C-alpha cells in the first residue's frame, strides 16, 4: 500500500506550484489564499490546465485559478438559492396532492406506491430524518402530542431533495403523470430525470463542491439545445434547474440575469467549453414565456 503523503507548509505548497509551471505573481497573496483555502481543494481547479505529465500549460497563473475558484463560488451560491425555491415548491405540491388523494398519513401505506418502491428503506429514511431533527419544535410537537405521527404535509418538510425525487418516482404512474403535467407540463420520464439532475447539483452545492470543469453523472432528458458537449457539464445541470424552476419571470430576473452578470465579470478567465455553455447559451437559458 502506498504511504500517505506527509503534510507540507504553505511555502512548500507555493514551490510545488512553481515547479509544475504555475506563475505566482504575488507570493504573499498566494500564501494568504492557501492559508484560507485548502491546497487540495484549490488544486482541483488546475485540472483543465494540466499536461499529461502533471505540469501546467504555459501561462497558467495562480491569480487566474483563484478567479475561477471565485467564479465557481458565486455560481454555486446563486444556484443553491434557485434549488431552495424548487425544493420548497415540490414539498408543497407533492404533499398537497398526496394528502388529498391518500389522506394525511397515506405515505405510510406501501400500497400507495408503485411496484419498484422499497417501502422499508423509505420508512428508514423518514425515521432517520425525524431522529436527526428531534430537537426541532414542530418535530417535538408531533412526537409529544401525536405520538410520533406526522401528516404528509409535515413530514415532507424533513425530506431531502433526494427523498422528494424518490417519493415522486415511486408514486403510481397515473399520479406521476398528473403531477408532471400539472406542475411542469411534461411527462414522468422527463421530470424524474430533471429531479435526479437537480439532486446531484444540490448535493454538490451544499458541500461546496466544484462546478467548473466537472462531468455530472446525470443527463437531463428532453431539453432542447443540449448536446453531448453540454448535457453532462454545468450548462446541462442549469438547464434542468430552469425546467424545474416554478416562476419564469423570477427565473429571468433573479437567476438568468445574475448568471449573465457572473459570466461577464469572469469572462477573462472562464472558458465556456469547460462548463458546457454553447455559443447561443443566452437564448437557451432565458425564458421567453411569462407563464408558470
- pLDDT at 37 > cutoff 60: yes
Percent of the chain with pLDDT over 70: 99
What does the pLDDT read at residue 292? 56
Q: Looking at residues 22-31, what average pLDDT do you find?
A: 98
Dist. CA 9–CA 17, nearest whole Å:
12
- pLDDT at 291 > cutoff 60: no
Dist. CA 259–CA 252, nearest whole Å:
10
**Closest Cα partner for 244 from 183, 176, 203, 285?**
183
Q: Looking at residues 161-184, what average pLDDT do you find?
A: 98
Q: What is the mean pLDDT of the chain?
A: 96
- pLDDT at 204 > cutoff 60: yes
- pLDDT tens across 246-279, in order? 999 999 999 999 999 999 999 999 999 999 999 9
What does the pLDDT read at residue 288? 86
- pLDDT at 163 > cutoff 60: yes
> Exposed, middle or buried, 130 (CB in 10 Å: 0-12/13-18/19+)?
middle
Length of the chain: 292
Q: How confident is the model at residue 289 (pLDDT cuts 50, 70, 90)?
A: confident
Amino acid at each position: 500500500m502506498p504511504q500517505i503523503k506527509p503534510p507540507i507548509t504553505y511555502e512548500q505548497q507555493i514551490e510545488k506550484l512553481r515547479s509544475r509551471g504555475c506563475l505566482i505573481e504575488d507570493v504573499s497573496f498566494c500564501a494568504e489564499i492557501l492559508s484560507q483555502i485548502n491546497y487540495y481543494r484549490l488544486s482541483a481547479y488546475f485540472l483543465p490546465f494540466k499536461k499529461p505529465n502533471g505540469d501546467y500549460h504555459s501561462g497558467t497563473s495562480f491569480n487566474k485559478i483563484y478567479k475561477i475558484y471565485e467564479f465557481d463560488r458565486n455560481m454555486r451560491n446563486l444556484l443553491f438559492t434557485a434549488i431552495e425555491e424548487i425544493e420548497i415548491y415540490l414539498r408543497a405540491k407533492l404533499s398537497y396532492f398526496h394528502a388529498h388523494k391518500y389522506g394525511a398519513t397515506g405515505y405510510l401505506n406501501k400500497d400507495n406506491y408503485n411496484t419498484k418502491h422499497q417501502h422499508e428503506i423509505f420508512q428508514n429514511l423518514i425515521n432517520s430524518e425525524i431522529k436527526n431533527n428531534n430537537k426541532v419544535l414542530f418535530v417535538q410537537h408531533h412526537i409529544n402530542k401525536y405520538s410520533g405521527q406526522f401528516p404528509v404535509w409535515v413530514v415532507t418538510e424533513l425530506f431531502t431533495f433526494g427523498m422528494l425525487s424518490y417519493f415522486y418516482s415511486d408514486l403510481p404512474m397515473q399520479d406521476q403523470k398528473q403531477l408532471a403535467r400539472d406542475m411542469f407540463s411534461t411527462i414522468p420520464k422527463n421530470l424524474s430525470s430533471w429531479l435526479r439532475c437537480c439532486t446531484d447539483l444540490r448535493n454538490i452545492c451544499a458541500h461546496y463542491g466544484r462546478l467548473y470543469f466537472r462531468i455530472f453523472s446525470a443527463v437531463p432528458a428532453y431539453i432542447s439545445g443540449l448536446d453531448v458537449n453540454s448535457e453532462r457539464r454545468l450548462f446541462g445541470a442549469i438547464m434542468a434547474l430552469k425546467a424545474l424552476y416554478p416562476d419564469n419571470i423570477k427565473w429571468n430576473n433573479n437567476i438568468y440575469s445574475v448568471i449573465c452578470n457572473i459570466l461577464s465579470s469572469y469572462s477573462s478567465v472562464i472558458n465556456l467549453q469547460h462548463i458546457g455553455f454553447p455559443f447561443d447559451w443566452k437564448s437557451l437559458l432565458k425564458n421567453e414565456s411569462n407563464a408558470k
